[in-house]
Amino acid sequence: MKSRFPLISFITGLLATGGLAALIYTQAPTSLLIVLALMLLLLAVWGLTAPVWLLFFRKILSQERQQMLAGMGLRFGLWSGIFVTTLTVLQLIGFLERVFVLTTLAMLMLAEMFIQQKKAGQNKSSRKRKKR
């Protein structure tokens, strides 16, 4: 059975993009609407990039790691959304510089590495329990 994750994620991204466009074109910017627009931007980038990450991981990962693909696609889509939203906030406050872009990217990469290490540690401990 094939996963419906890419289709649902893509539709969610398109709906969030439409909502963001409608919000920008029809409303005057207030602080509450700016926060809503940033949340819609995060959701749009997350929804539109998660299927791309999923296809990318299908191509590069071995067959024994295929069961982790949906989670990895969602997580990397979320990291992409957080990255774009953070850069947008930095641009809005007039603080966007190369150093902050690289620092944000490095922080997101570190967070992903910590998640991968935690999962690897959990897999090792569960294998030891099964052997006993």
pLDDT beyond 90 at 6: no
Let me know: does 39 contact 8? Beta carbons within 8 Å.
no
Q: Which two tokens stand for residue 118?
A: 């935690």
pLDDT at residue number 130: 67
Mean pLDDT of 1-13: 84
Q: How does residue 68 score in pLDDT terms, banded at 50, 70 and 90?
A: confident
Print burial letters for 108-122: b (CB count within 10 Å at least 16), e (below 16): beeeeeeeeeeeeee
Q: How does residue 1 score in pLDDT terms, banded at 50, 70 and 90?
A: very low
Between residues 18 and 69, the one the model is more confident about: 18
Cα separation, 114 vs 109, in Å, equals 9
pLDDT at residue number 119: 85
Between residues 130 and 69, the one the model is more confident about: 69
pLDDT beyond 60 at 123: yes
